[in-house]
Chains A and B, each alone.
Chain A
Amino acid sequence: MSTLRQSIRHALANPALQAALDANAERRRAARERARASLPQPWETMRRRAAEVRADVLAHWDEVFDRFVANARRNGFHVHLAADAAEARRIVLDLVASRGKGPRLVVKSKSMVTEEIGLNAALEAAGHRVIETDLGEFIVQLRHERPAHIITPAVHLRRQEVAETFHARLGMPYTEDVEAMTATARRHLREAFLQADVGISGANFGIAETGGICIVTNEGNGRMVTTLPRLHIAVMGAERLVRTPAELALMLELLPRSATGQDLTVYTTLIHGPRREGETDGPQERHLVIVDNGRRRMAQTPLADGLRCIRCGACLNACPVFQEIGGHAYLGRGGKPTPYPGPIGIVISPGLFGFEDYGNLPYLCTLCGACAEACPVEVPLPDLILQARRLSTEAAPKEESAPPPLPRPLRAFLGLYARVATKPALFRLAQQAIRPLARLTAPLSPIPFLRGVKATPRQSQTANRQSPIANRPSQPAPRNPQLATHHPPTASSRPLTASRQSFTSALTALGGEVVPVPDMVSAGEAIVAFLQREGLKRVWAWDEAHLPPEVVAALDATGIAHPVAAFPPEDETDIPKAGLTGALAGIAATGSLVVPAGAGRPQTASLLPEIHLAVLRAADIVPDLQAALTLPAVRQASMTSIITGPSRTADIEMTLTIGVHGPRRVVVFLAP
């Protein structure tokens, strides 16, 4: 087992890892800056509000928590409270076993809390087959690795390494073509989705007022896992709560922008309970496992503000230490791994799991503060890191045998230094003694700081009250001495055009297609023309009661079958290439479709086919996410998908690939 020091050396000596980490830092920072500029209000204003919302929830945690649990139960969730990792594992194992004798097939969408509780190992030990379905998680699972980042698990890999893994483990001919690799993962995982007994997901937020959970994903695997298997288990950290849909909207303005630089993830899924009477898809049972695992204990410590974290990963991307060593290097004492690396990780790993094992991690930081600047909920990370170091020092056993949080010589130096520094005369003597010594040893020092000492001018050169510069020959003055002016990116003023134009440009920018039609008769004609061009004679659809009659008439007149989508289907060949739905609303700011579930409105129509056709009325376009999330129909539906463009991933070398598990084309027929 390697130690922290070994893992650091290993990381620094790995050129592929270094290249991957540099590319990640560069791209993520640029993407975040762009996304900040598109915020509806200034970044500092919005993150202040978001910080207040999260702080307020934690200040009234019991009340908000109880309200959430009561409302979730009222919605039909089975809610389980797990005090620690072992209890959480046992609850999930019992639920999976309840699906029948023998090994079960479990599909998982990305969840850090399931990493935290070691769920996969426990399920596999019990004989079940677990498949991670997020592309990045899928890759690291194939490689028997841990995720290297909380939102981009395969951030440490170059495409060549992924290609080798796919070749060796999936039998795919070696190719470095990211699209081909993604397509292989899609085929491989599609089978798993269709056959799985159980779907396990995380939850980004619980909403106390509505008793619902929100899950954000891009690839569509999150929707698959929460829609297709008959049993869905969501595992969430006990602190991941907001009170209202409006508060959720604020979090969702900041989370994807901070995480991947997107204005909104492709799929924002709201779940308010299991399949209801008359619905033809969705799980019959939904369970919610709420994990404490040290959270309430941490709330009583000076690290409490770390619980505000919404797991966007921005601090990891901003951290210069993370950029050098990557997520796998963050090892606790005795080489103990943690699921949470980076600035937030070095606070919450000891905060949640104890200083005995993780008290060494808070020292992996230069206190540069770049993390705090990147955080969308103002977690005061440098302050918490300083507090964690203090707690680590105070928690350290005094016996000589125990490993101290700092190397012993450094600790001894600090003690001695404090003694000397409180006696000015002694301090002056020490200063005089140290100067020549430092100069002498400087060139040999492994510490650059001491090498810098060597180059400093001697006192004699400066005793004449002149700067060392005075001894250097001066050069002719350049023509125009001036400071380079810096123009911060300004938020583009929102165009005062109609909401339909905003919707159209936002969706088009994401690779979606908008077909404007003057009325519903024309919408029907345009849809038929589209299907005929594609050579399709059958679509999976919403029930005709929920589609415009003109559209239904056009389909019927041309002999295009439009059965109501249902899951499970007979087999995958039964799933047509196109699905046709309506939409409750559109969102002007993001180009999103708001698609609630209900009897006659199957979710799978917008999920399983390769092409999603949707009919939207311009009158139903709302301005922003908050307006959409507060629509009463959203909280009333068992499930609502907010769909923002075609499914996508950038998990392999951050190369954008359109069309993963969800549709690769989203075509909106926009009527007045």
Chain B
Amino acid sequence: MPTTVNLFPTCLAGTFRESIVIAAEAALRRAGAEVVRPQGLTCCGQPAFNAGDWENARRMAEHTLRVLEGYEGPVVMPAGSCAAMLRQHYAELFAEDPAWLPRARALAGRTYEFSEFLVDVLGATDLGVDFPHRVTYHPSCHLLRALGVDRQPRALIAALHGAEFVELPHAEECCGFGGVFSAEFPEIAAAMLERKVANIAATGAEYCITADPSCLLHIQGGLNRAGVPTRMIHIAEVLAVNSAQ
């Protein structure tokens, strides 16, 4: 029986790059899963949480919990930082709330980041995707350090047919987005971004693959400004490309 997956589009992907959501759904299907799009999902509350505004973060988290409690089975997010929010920070938000804490923990236990779910749960590494391009990979900070997910997206990339992988110099360095950070300190964010853009340019890759829509959009903005032809692309978008045969 195929696994039924609840796909959480996340607000940034859903608003600014819906192709990620569509691609994630297609890739999960290709890997043999049934995909459900729970009705009523909006934003997990991470922006408010990161800004220190726990009151508003709780309101959004409560909303998210109510919606997802109506759907059984794993919740998959095509965004490392959002997955970290549900998995790690919901429990902190409700640490002193005996009514909500068990509900937050239950959701955390069934939440996965997209690439992690494909590789670790579905065991689907090679989806038969033909991708004859020079590519590199930007491991986003929350995915790499908060969730410890690195092997999985790299395995997915290694299994692409025809792709030439180039390691990104200083790959593990932050791109400077940081949510509210880049709105509050745009000059520092831009300086950090310049560094990331230069490293990406040095790879000569056609595509820089990442698993977080926020970093993706931020870095794409930097590439545009610098006139670097490399395109940012989400791992889900890569995996939804027509298959090799």
Do A and B form a real pair?
yes
The reply to whether A369 and B132 form a contact with Cβ atoms under 8 Å apart is: no
Instruction: Tell me whether B17 is interfacial, beta carbon within 8 Å.
Output: yes
Instruction: Tell me whether B41 is interfacial, beta carbon within 8 Å.
Output: yes
Contacts A366-B181, A369-B141, A431-B14 hold; do A455 and B173 have CB atoms under 8 A apart?
no
Instruction: Tell me whether B50 is interfacial, beta carbon within 8 Å.
Output: yes
The reply to whether B232 and A475 form a contact with Cβ atoms under 8 Å apart is: no
Instruction: Tell me whether B33 is interfacial, beta carbon within 8 Å.
Output: no
The reply to whether B145 and A373 form a contact with Cβ atoms under 8 Å apart is: yes
Among the 9-residue stretches A67-75, A408-416, A604-612, the one with 4 or more Cβ atoms under 8 Å from chain B is A408-416
The reply to whether A369 and B142 form a contact with Cβ atoms under 8 Å apart is: yes
Across the interface, B43 reaches (CB within 8 A) one of A8, A382, A417, namely A417
Instruction: Tell me whether B77 is interfacial, beta carbon within 8 Å.
Output: no
CA distance A321 to B142 in the complex (A): 16
Residues 395 to 448 of chain A near chain B (Cβ within 8 Å): 405-407, 410-411, 414-415, 417-418, 420-422, 424, 427, 431, 434-435, 438, 442, 445-448
The reply to whether A449 and B218 form a contact with Cβ atoms under 8 Å apart is: yes
Contacts A12-B187, A389-B52 hold; do A468 and B233 have CB atoms under 8 A apart?
yes
Instruction: Tell me whether B124 is interfacial, beta carbon within 8 Å.
Output: no
Instruction: Tell me whether A363 is interfacial, beta carbon within 8 Å.
Output: yes
CB distance from B51 to the nearest CB of A (A): 6
Least CB separation from B207: chain A residue = A469
Q: Mark A447-482, 1 if CB is under 8 A from B, else 0.
A: 111111111110101110111111000111110111
Across the interface, A483 reaches (CB within 8 A) one of B146, B165, B222, namely B165
The A interface, classified by DSSP as helix, strand, loop or mixed, is: helix
Least CB separation from B93: chain A residue = A390
Least CB separation from A319: chain B residue = B174
A interface residues, tally (CB under 8 Å): 81
CA distance A391 to B52 in the complex (A): 7
Contacts A386-B50, A414-B48, A467-B241 hold; do A474 and B132 have CB atoms under 8 A apart?
yes
B residues in contact with A427, CB < 8 Å: 11, 42-43
Across the interface, B164 reaches (CB within 8 A) one of A372, A418, A459, A478, namely A478
Least CB separation from A329: chain B residue = B188
Instruction: Tell me whether A79 is interfacial, beta carbon within 8 Å.
Output: no
Contacts A424-B39, A446-B186 hold; do A320 and B192 have CB atoms under 8 A apart?
yes
The reply to whether A324 and B51 form a contact with Cβ atoms under 8 Å apart is: no
B-to-A contact residues, CB < 8 Å: 11, 14-19, 22-23, 25-26, 39-43, 45, 47-54, 56-57, 59-60, 62-63, 67, 89, 92, 130-134, 141-142, 144-146, 154, 157-158, 160-167, 172-174, 176-193, 195, 206-207, 214, 216-225, 231-233, 237-238, 240-242
The reply to whether A452 and B217 form a contact with Cβ atoms under 8 Å apart is: yes
A residues in contact with B43, CB < 8 Å: 417, 421, 427
The reply to whether A470 and B241 form a contact with Cβ atoms under 8 Å apart is: yes
CA distance A476 to B186 in the complex (A): 40
The reply to whether A435 and B188 form a contact with Cβ atoms under 8 Å apart is: no
The reply to whether B216 and A452 form a contact with Cβ atoms under 8 Å apart is: yes
The reply to whether A405 and B52 form a contact with Cβ atoms under 8 Å apart is: yes
B residues in contact with A383, CB < 8 Å: 92
The reply to whether A448 and B222 form a contact with Cβ atoms under 8 Å apart is: yes
The reply to whether A435 and B16 form a contact with Cβ atoms under 8 Å apart is: yes
The reply to whether A483 and B157 form a contact with Cβ atoms under 8 Å apart is: yes
B residues in contact with A434, CB < 8 Å: 15
The reply to whether B219 and A410 form a contact with Cβ atoms under 8 Å apart is: no
CA distance A391 to B130 in the complex (A): 50
Least CB separation from A480: chain B residue = B164
Q: Could you list 22 examples of A-B contacts with CB < 8 Å?
A: A320-B195, A324-B188, A365-B178, A366-B174, A414-B48, A418-B57, A427-B11, A447-B221, A450-B221, A451-B224, A452-B219, A452-B221, A455-B223, A459-B18, A462-B22, A465-B26, A467-B233, A467-B240, A469-B237, A478-B132, A482-B165, A486-B167
Beyond A448-B219, A476-B132, A484-B165, list 20 extra A-B contacts (CB 8 Å): A12-B187, A324-B192, A362-B52, A366-B174, A366-B182, A366-B189, A369-B145, A370-B141, A386-B92, A406-B51, A418-B53, A421-B63, A427-B42, A438-B16, A447-B186, A449-B214, A455-B221, A461-B19, A469-B238, A484-B167
CB distance from B165 to the nearest CB of A (A): 5
Chain B CB count within 10 A is highest, among A438, A450, A467, for A467
The reply to whether B47 and A456 form a contact with Cβ atoms under 8 Å apart is: no
CA distance A82 to B40 in the complex (A): 57
The reply to whether B56 and A415 form a contact with Cβ atoms under 8 Å apart is: yes
Instruction: Tell me whether A325 is interfacial, beta carbon within 8 Å.
Output: yes
Contacts A363-B184, A386-B50, A481-B163 hold; do A452 and B224 have CB atoms under 8 A apart?
yes
Contacts A366-B176, A469-B237 hold; do A448 and B52 have CB atoms under 8 A apart?
no
CB distance from A88 to the nearest CB of B (A): 31
A residues in contact with B59, CB < 8 Å: 418, 422
CB distance from A329 to the nearest CB of B (A): 9
CA distance A364 to B188 in the complex (A): 9
CA distance A617 to B70 in the complex (A): 75
B residues in contact with A480, CB < 8 Å: 164
Instruction: Tell me whether A188 is interfacial, beta carbon within 8 Å.
Output: no
CA distance A450 to B190 in the complex (A): 12
Least CB separation from A393: chain B residue = B52
CA distance A477 to B62 in the complex (A): 48
Across the interface, A424 reaches (CB within 8 A) one of B18, B42, B142, B181, namely B42
The reply to whether A370 and B174 form a contact with Cβ atoms under 8 Å apart is: yes
Least CB separation from A464: chain B residue = B22
The reply to whether B56 and A449 form a contact with Cβ atoms under 8 Å apart is: no
Instruction: Tell me whether A367 is interfacial, beta carbon within 8 Å.
Output: yes
Residues 357 to 379 of chain A near chain B (Cβ within 8 Å): 362-370, 372-373
The reply to whether A367 and B178 form a contact with Cβ atoms under 8 Å apart is: yes
The reply to whether A418 and B48 form a contact with Cβ atoms under 8 Å apart is: yes
Residues 542 to 599 of chain A near chain B (Cβ within 8 Å): none
Instruction: Tell me whether A392 is interfacial, beta carbon within 8 Å.
Output: yes
Instruction: Tell me whether A9 is interfacial, beta carbon within 8 Å.
Output: yes
The reply to whether B189 and A448 form a contact with Cβ atoms under 8 Å apart is: yes
The reply to whether A475 and B132 form a contact with Cβ atoms under 8 Å apart is: yes
B residues in contact with A369, CB < 8 Å: 141-142, 144-146
Contacts A369-B141, A431-B15 hold; do A466 and B163 have CB atoms under 8 A apart?
no
CA distance A418 to B43 in the complex (A): 9
The reply to whether B183 and A447 form a contact with Cβ atoms under 8 Å apart is: yes
A residues in contact with B52, CB < 8 Å: 362-363, 386, 388-394, 405-406
Across the interface, A418 reaches (CB within 8 A) one of B56, B158, B181, B185, namely B56
Across the interface, B54 reaches (CB within 8 A) one of A362, A393, A482, A483, namely A393
Least CB separation from A434: chain B residue = B15
B residues in contact with A372, CB < 8 Å: 145
CA distance A393 to B232 in the complex (A): 35
CA distance A26 to B62 in the complex (A): 43
CA distance A461 to B189 in the complex (A): 30
The reply to whether B133 and A474 form a contact with Cβ atoms under 8 Å apart is: yes
The reply to whether A414 and B51 form a contact with Cβ atoms under 8 Å apart is: yes
CA distance A44 to B224 in the complex (A): 40
7 pairs of A and B residues whose beta carbons are closest in the complex: A366-B178, A389-B52, A451-B221, A477-B162, A452-B221, A418-B56, A368-B174
Chain B CB count within 10 A is highest, among A366, A392, A468, for A366
CB distance from B142 to the nearest CB of A (A): 7
B residues in contact with A367, CB < 8 Å: 50, 141-142, 178-179, 181
The reply to whether A454 and B224 form a contact with Cβ atoms under 8 Å apart is: yes
Contacts A406-B51, A414-B51, A434-B15 hold; do A321 and B188 have CB atoms under 8 A apart?
yes
A residues in contact with B192, CB < 8 Å: 320-321, 324, 366
CA distance A410 to B186 in the complex (A): 13
CB distance from A464 to the nearest CB of B (A): 9
The reply to whether A481 and B193 form a contact with Cβ atoms under 8 Å apart is: no
The reply to whether A481 and B161 form a contact with Cβ atoms under 8 Å apart is: yes
Least CB separation from B187: chain A residue = A12
The reply to whether A8 and B173 form a contact with Cβ atoms under 8 Å apart is: no
The reply to whether A449 and B182 form a contact with Cβ atoms under 8 Å apart is: yes
CB distance from B205 to the nearest CB of A (A): 12
Contacts A12-B191, A421-B43, A435-B16 hold; do A455 and B183 have CB atoms under 8 A apart?
no
Chain B CB count within 10 A is highest, among A363, A448, A463, A484, for A448
CB distance from B148 to the nearest CB of A (A): 10
The reply to whether A422 and B18 form a contact with Cβ atoms under 8 Å apart is: no
